[in-house]
Amino acid sequence: MADVVLKDVRKSFGSIDVIKGLNLEANHGEFVVFVGPSGCGKSTLLRMICGLESISSGNLFIGGTDMSDVEACDRGTAMVFQSYALYPHMTVAENMSFGLRMAKVPKNEIEARVNKAADILQIRHLLDRKPKAMSGGQRQRVAIGRAIVREPKVFLFDEPLSNLDAELRVQMRVELSKLHHEIGATMIYVTHDQVEAMTMADRIVVLRDGLVEQIGSPLNLYSAPNNRFVAGFIGSPQ
Contact set with ligand ADP (CB under 6 A): 13, 18, 36, 38-44
Shortest Cβ 38–Mg ion spacing (Å): 7
Q: Are strands 203-208 and 211-216 parallel, antiparallel or unpaired?
A: antiparallel
State the minimum distance, in angstroms, from the CB of residue 13 to ligand ADP. Answer: 3
Measure the CA–CA gap between 47 and 60, rounded to whole angstroms: 12
Residue 82 or 95: the one with the smaller Cβ distance to ligand ADP is: 82
Give the count of residues interacting with Mg ion (CB under 5 A).
2
d(CA 87, CA 95): 6
Determine contact, residues 188/5, Cβ cutoff 8 Å. no
**Among Mg ion, ligand ADP, none, what binds residue 38 when CB lies within 5 to 8 Å by partner kind?**
ligand ADP
Rounded least distance, CB 54 to ligand ADP, Å:
11
Element (H, E) at 77: strand 77-80
In which order are the strands placed within the sheet that holds 16-26? 16-26, 4-13, 57-62, 65-66
Q: How far is the CB of 80 from ligand ADP (least distance, A)?
A: 14
Residue 87 binds: one of Mg ion, ligand ADP, none (C-beta under 5 to 8 A by kind): none
181 CB burial (10 A radius; 0-12, 13-18, 19+): exposed
For residue 214, state whether it binds Mg ion (rule: CB under 5 A): no
The binder of 225, among ligand ADP, Mg ion, none, by C-beta within 5 to 8 A per type, is none
- Which of Mg ion, ligand ADP, none has residue 39 at its interface (CB below 5 to 8 Å by kind)? ligand ADP
Assess 186 for contact with Mg ion (CB under 5 A). Answer: no
Rounded to the nearest whole angstrom, what is the least distance from the CB of residue 182 to Mg ion in the complex?
Answer: 27
The contact mask relative to Mg ion for 40-59 (x = CB under 5 A, - = no) is: --xx----------------
Q: Report the alpha-carbon distance of residue 42 to residue 113 in Å, rounded.
A: 30
Our CB check for ligand ADP shows the closer of 11 and 113 to be 11
Nearest CB to Mg ion, comparing residues 114 and 159: 159
Does 191 engage in binding with Mg ion (CB under 5 A)? no
CA distances from 155 to 45, 107, 151 (A): 13, 24, 9
Cα–Cα distance, 187 to 77 (Å, whole number):
10
Q: How large is the angle between the packed helices 92-102 and 107-120, nearest 10 degrees?
A: 130
| Residue numbers at the binding site for Mg ion (CB under 5 A) | 42-43
